[in-house]
Amino acid sequence: MEGEDSSSKLLSLSTPLYRLASLGKLLQLESHPLFAKWEGANPTGTHKDRAAISHVAAAKRDGFGAVTAGTCGNYGAALAYYAKLYRVKAVIYVPRLYENSRVAEMKRYGAAVIPVDGKYEDAVALSAQAARENDWYDANPGGPNDHTSLASYSRIAYEIAAQLGDAPHAISIPVGNGTTLVGVYLGFLQLYKEGCTTRIPRIVAATTAHANQLAASWAKGSLEPVKLPASEVRETWVNEPLAAVESLNAHEALKALHCSGGEVYVFEDEEMVEAALALKAVEGIAALPASAASILALKRFASLGEAEGPLVALVTGRWRARR
């Protein structure tokens, strides 16, 4: 692994595209082929693997003493996993009270986990500060190496275009910071410019109703991120990956939504859990409830008469029902 070219390893992170024929019928989407881009097939179960492997490889290449980020859980688990493979120290900052933080998993991979008394944004801020003070590689969204994350997530667009033979009419993406959304949009934009697809898909953001800066800004018709009072955010075991006082890539994400003719839809926890259970029961895909919001967003998108072709939902996994 140590001598392996990082770009070839990155390209190997290719995930399947599944046709959801039965679920499409259940959701009354028979006239619009419904697909899931199953990012749960990645080694740690989510799309975060794509950014994590790129950042860790860059940290290794450039001789940094450690790689660091703040996380709700999935991104930290991915960073810790690839840091172990590349023999790079990982220092992960995690809100102390988050329920799905995957801390035990990070520690098994050898990461140093720093609990933070605060929210996700506080974990990111402390991680970024530690990176500056200790000369660590900053892998945080919105940070100095954000371009690496965006390039990594753009690969999702290339894979979908190859698997479908063209860009879909719309792609729905679960949104916290908006980083993945921006990367996917940039990938499809580049494909269209190169003449590899006939269109740029409409970008549909799916997020929590309690609350997210990107969604709040879109609801106000603003292409600039609006200030969201911290008191409005209610984080739960379901919506932790989506709730955001500050969506760190909100500005770029709002631009992507506007330029693609996209939409933003918000959902309650109960809706996301029910969607995840339905996806498991009907299609055998064990999705993270927050991720299953992407299915709900496409249903709403189509119900408003917006759908005109294939629909793709970005879906991630590694979820077990609470008992």
Q: Which of 289-300 are b and which e, b meaning 16 or more Cβ less than 10 Å from the residue's Cβ?
A: bbbbbbbbbbbb
Contact 199, 191 (CB under 8 A): no
Determine the Cα–Cα distance for residues 110 and 170; give it in Å rounded to an integer: 39
pLDDT value for 231: 87
pLDDT value for 230: 86
Query: 23-38, pLDDT tens digit by residue?
Result: 999 998 888 899 999 9
57: pLDDT strictly greater than 90: yes
Q: 6-46+147-315: which CATH architecture? A: 3-Layer(aba) Sandwich (3.40)
The CATH number corresponding to 48-138 among 3.40.50.720, 3.40.50.2300, 3.40.50.1100, 3.30.390.50 equals: 3.40.50.1100
- Strands of the sheet with 311-315, listed across from one edge: 17-19, 34-38, 311-315, 170-174, 202-208, 263-267
pLDDT value for 73: 92
pLDDT value for 6: 41
pLDDT value for 12: 62
Residue with the bigger pLDDT between 94 and 7: it is 94
Query: 257-313, pLDDT tens digit by residue?
Result: 999 999 999 999 999 999 999 999 999 999 999 999 999 999 999 988 877 889 999
Mean pLDDT for the chain overall: 92
Q: How confident is the model at residue 132 (pLDDT cuts 50, 70, 90)?
A: very high
pLDDT value for 165: 97
| CATH 3.40.50.1100 domain span(s) along the chain | 6-46+147-315, 48-138
Task: Taking residues 135-155, report their average pLDDT.
Answer: 97
Q: How confident is the model at residue 255 (pLDDT cuts 50, 70, 90)?
A: very high
233: pLDDT strictly greater than 50: yes
Query: 92-120, pLDDT tens digit by residue?
Result: 999 998 887 799 999 999 999 999 999 99
| 170 bridge partner residues | 202, 311
Task: Taking residues 227-244, report their average pLDDT.
Answer: 91
- Taken in order 99, 101, 107, 109, the sign of the CA dihedral is positive
